[in-house]
Copies of this chain bind each other. A is one copy, B any other.
């Protein structure tokens, strides 16, 4: 199969480098000292009966984190990061994720709890493994790397060749070639990426094959790792032979099931091997990767790309390993795995040949220079084993005083890093924080999530057969289309609310300054708000709280408003405090008070110092990548201080409230204060009614309320509504500056998937 030539002749290089990727990563939950926990799988991580992202492998302590299939390695690593952040932030405070494949501080075998799965067959299979291999060996963790070639590539290759008439047979042989050559040369990846040089003595129950102080490249890939007995040989000569031999070992009872065949390559695409004969091999699973303890989540992006290219080389090369070659490869694997990490490998020449071929392939394919450089660096590691991952790890282990200590230290560091921006999902940080918060909850609850358009914050959610689409965190199928259209238009909003009987301040609309000025007598001495018809973050709004005193003031305010819109409203001013009600369906989930940027004096520090101190709050930052914004020390703040007889260098008295802004927007450094429990329930009911009148499923209702403790009365002295907002902000409720957090994203999920109730253990 001259794949290389066909690709060159048909300009298929780009298609060849496409593919679908998936990563499964096992790891042990551990305590601060690196020892494996004996606690059950945390309930907060959702039900394992359906969870697509967070599972347990062999043991209750052994997390299995699974990325969805992605069209790029980069995206798979992003998902791996996101799932890790969700898990790390959900673990009990004293639990961590161990970053090394070999477990440390194993409990006595009888205290190792097999994963408590719902399906009895899953539990029975684990019991069998215990009987055959013992529990300790099952506690070893690693990474499985799933790879599928682009179907368009396979089709193009098939069209361009003449040997095969059957497309499925062609596809099977293509994947088999990849599998066979991989098995032949897999030792190279172990040489470069192995990271299991040692293990604690109890792992072998006292009978360690390692001499004191002996290190190897990979215990996990050695004969002491997780391997079948040596005589269990499955043929890769053809798919038919593969199926036959594999079924033989199962029917003869040497394997309890096909999945007990621990090949470092698995043929995937069907539940049973025999089904592959008709369905065809859809993708391969490569299983030999040790966790990289220096990568926060077990594998680096560069290595993941390197593995992709290595796999591609397996079909790019003209030769195809036969069964003897496979056996040779397995032998070399075992041998290399047991070499000392700082020792040159016995097969250096072959390794260098293969990586040179890989480099050549990347050149032909026009890969980026950085990718070529990375391979060249790997090539150099054959001359200097100290540069390999194993070599580096050895030095770190010795420096830390043992692999358990090193692992525990790295585990703590990884968790601390994941907690740093606890309100974000680092890998999806180019989306809005609200969408990140929603994705956090989706991943944790186990709702399949696909990002349809990252820039547009468009998600597709799926639970069973039930599909929902979400944009910007809370725009869903549950809202009626007319509802945002009503809310976009303040005039229409008020008419609709007035029709439904809510307290709405009177207003008139104008299309020109002149037209509005002609109506000046209607507003003279009245307290009014002049504002553009369409919402624009408070731009162009003037308030005459004490009543409109002159035609000139009116004209100025009108001109400011007309800069923002072609239509301007003059509205009766309502006195009271503005609260934001977050309504979802039948319930007001959160009430928030927004307070203009301020500091409280302590009699010692200057305003500038107090601001700096307040800005150090973990939620404050640029306001787009953080839930709250730092208070600026700009002209507007300076003016505001001046009105209070202060400057940035003044030292305000103890408990003196210093205002740095007149407006209460969070985006100008304002404080968000949760008032949900303080608010009289009557207003919460009103907000629900207003949301319903708008036809909204999710709605942000702004009410002006003079006294939140008094029950609402049916007149504007008691309360008034000015506008309602679709797609209301969620972050400010989830992460308020003070008061209780309201995880409204979870409510959005439950609104979309009511069937989740009872299927999960909600906190």
Query: Residues on A close to B: CB < 8 A?
Result: 11-15, 452-453, 455-456, 458, 460, 467, 469-471, 475-486, 489, 491-492, 495-496, 499, 518-519, 521-522, 524, 566-567, 695, 697, 726
Among B11, B12, B481, B484, point to the contact of A476 (Cβ < 8 A).
Answer: B481
With A11-B521, A475-B485, A476-B482 known, 20 other A-B pairs at CB within 8 A are: A11-B524, A14-B521, A453-B489, A455-B567, A458-B485, A458-B486, A458-B489, A460-B495, A460-B496, A469-B482, A469-B486, A469-B496, A475-B481, A476-B480, A477-B480, A477-B481, A477-B482, A479-B482, A481-B484, A481-B726
Chain B residues closer than 8 Å to A492, beta-carbon distance: 452-453, 456, 458, 469
- Report which residue of A15, A456, A566 has the largest number of chain B beta carbons within 10 angstroms of its beta carbon: A456
- Each complex incorporates copies of this chain amounting to 2
Chain B residues closer than 8 Å to A11, beta-carbon distance: 521, 524
CB distance from A697 to the nearest CB of B (A): 8
- Let me know if B480 and A480 touch, CB within 8 A: yes
Chain B residues closer than 8 Å to A477, beta-carbon distance: 480-483, 695
Chain B residues closer than 8 Å to A481, beta-carbon distance: 475-481, 483-484, 697, 726
- Please, how many angstroms separate the alpha-carbon atoms of A278 and B391 in the complex? 98
- Please, how many angstroms separate the alpha-carbon atoms of A477 and B483 in the complex? 7
Chain B residues closer than 8 Å to A483, beta-carbon distance: 477, 481
- Please, how many angstroms separate the alpha-carbon atoms of A4 and B298 in the complex? 87
CB distance from A68 to the nearest CB of B (A): 14
- Let me know if B489 and A482 touch, CB within 8 A: no
CB distance from A705 to the nearest CB of B (A): 25
List 8 A-B pairs, Cβ < 8 Å.
Answer: A13-B521, A452-B492, A469-B486, A469-B492, A469-B695, A478-B480, A480-B480, A481-B697
Among B15, B479, B491, B518, point to the contact of A453 (Cβ < 8 A).
Answer: B491
Chain B residues closer than 8 Å to A456, beta-carbon distance: 489, 492
Chain B residues closer than 8 Å to A476, beta-carbon distance: 480-482
- Let me know if B491 and A522 touch, CB within 8 A: no
- Let me know if B13 and A491 touch, CB within 8 A: no
- Let me know if B485 and A471 touch, CB within 8 A: yes
- Please, how many angstroms separate the alpha-carbon atoms of A478 and B695 in the complex? 11
Task: Give the 6 A-B CB pairs with smallest separation, nearest first.
Answer: A479-B481, A477-B480, A11-B521, A477-B482, A452-B492, A471-B485
CB distance from A316 to the nearest CB of B (A): 17
- Please, how many angstroms separate the alpha-carbon atoms of A456 and B452 in the complex? 31
Q: A452-B491, A453-B492 given as contacts; is B482 within 8 A of A522 (CB)?
A: no
- Please, how many angstroms separate the alpha-carbon atoms of A480 and B467 in the complex? 14
- Please, how many angstroms separate the alpha-carbon atoms of A730 and B452 in the complex? 30
Chain B residues closer than 8 Å to A478, beta-carbon distance: 480-481
- Let me know if A495 and B452 touch, CB within 8 A: yes
- Please, how many angstroms separate the alpha-carbon atoms of A478 and B477 in the complex? 11
Chain B residues closer than 8 Å to A496, beta-carbon distance: 452, 460, 469
CB distance from A76 to the nearest CB of B (A): 19
- Please, how many angstroms separate the alpha-carbon atoms of A450 and B67 in the complex? 53
Residue of B nearest to A366 (CB): B518
- Please, how many angstroms separate the alpha-carbon atoms of A467 and B500 in the complex? 10
- Please, how many angstroms separate the alpha-carbon atoms of A221 and B485 in the complex? 51
- Let me know if A482 and B453 touch, CB within 8 A: no
CB distance from A149 to the nearest CB of B (A): 15
Q: A475-B482, A476-B481, A567-B455 given as contacts; is B460 within 8 A of A499 (CB)?
A: yes
Residue of B nearest to A490 (CB): B453
Chain B residues closer than 8 Å to A12, beta-carbon distance: 521
Chain B residues closer than 8 Å to A469, beta-carbon distance: 482, 485-486, 492, 496, 695
CB distance from A152 to the nearest CB of B (A): 8
- Please, how many angstroms separate the alpha-carbon atoms of A484 and B469 in the complex? 12
- Please, how many angstroms separate the alpha-carbon atoms of A369 and B191 in the complex? 97
Chain B residues closer than 8 Å to A566, beta-carbon distance: 455
- Report which residue of A11, A522, A697 has the largest number of chain B beta carbons within 10 angstroms of its beta carbon: A522
- Please, how many angstroms separate the alpha-carbon atoms of A566 and B481 in the complex? 26
- Report which residue of A13, A458, A695 has the largest number of chain B beta carbons within 10 angstroms of its beta carbon: A458
Chain B residues closer than 8 Å to A495, beta-carbon distance: 452, 460
Chain B residues closer than 8 Å to A695, beta-carbon distance: 469, 477
CB distance from A632 to the nearest CB of B (A): 29
Chain B residues closer than 8 Å to A697, beta-carbon distance: 481
CB distance from A384 to the nearest CB of B (A): 35
CB distance from A655 to the nearest CB of B (A): 45
Chain B residues closer than 8 Å to A471, beta-carbon distance: 482, 485
Chain B residues closer than 8 Å to A453, beta-carbon distance: 489, 491-492
- Report which residue of A15, A476, A480, A518 has the largest number of chain B beta carbons within 10 angstroms of its beta carbon: A480
Residue of B nearest to A468 (CB): B482
- Report which residue of A475, A477, A496 has the largest number of chain B beta carbons within 10 angstroms of its beta carbon: A477
Chain B residues closer than 8 Å to A519, beta-carbon distance: 14
Chain B residues closer than 8 Å to A480, beta-carbon distance: 476-481
CB distance from A19 to the nearest CB of B (A): 14
- Please, how many angstroms separate the alpha-carbon atoms of A172 and B522 in the complex? 24
- Please, how many angstroms separate the alpha-carbon atoms of A524 and B10 in the complex? 10
- Please, how many angstroms separate the alpha-carbon atoms of A761 and B473 in the complex? 46
- Please, how many angstroms separate the alpha-carbon atoms of A496 and B15 in the complex? 24
Residue of B nearest to A18 (CB): B522
- Please, how many angstroms separate the alpha-carbon atoms of A485 and B452 in the complex? 12
Residue of B nearest to A519 (CB): B14
Chain B residues closer than 8 Å to A475, beta-carbon distance: 481-482, 485
- Please, how many angstroms separate the alpha-carbon atoms of A485 and B727 in the complex? 12
Chain B residues closer than 8 Å to A479, beta-carbon distance: 480-482
CB distance from A404 to the nearest CB of B (A): 46
- Please, how many angstroms separate the alpha-carbon atoms of A49 and B11 in the complex? 75
Chain B residues closer than 8 Å to A491, beta-carbon distance: 452-453
Chain B residues closer than 8 Å to A470, beta-carbon distance: 482
- Let me know if B485 and A15 touch, CB within 8 A: no
- Report which residue of A475, A492, A697 has the largest number of chain B beta carbons within 10 angstroms of its beta carbon: A492
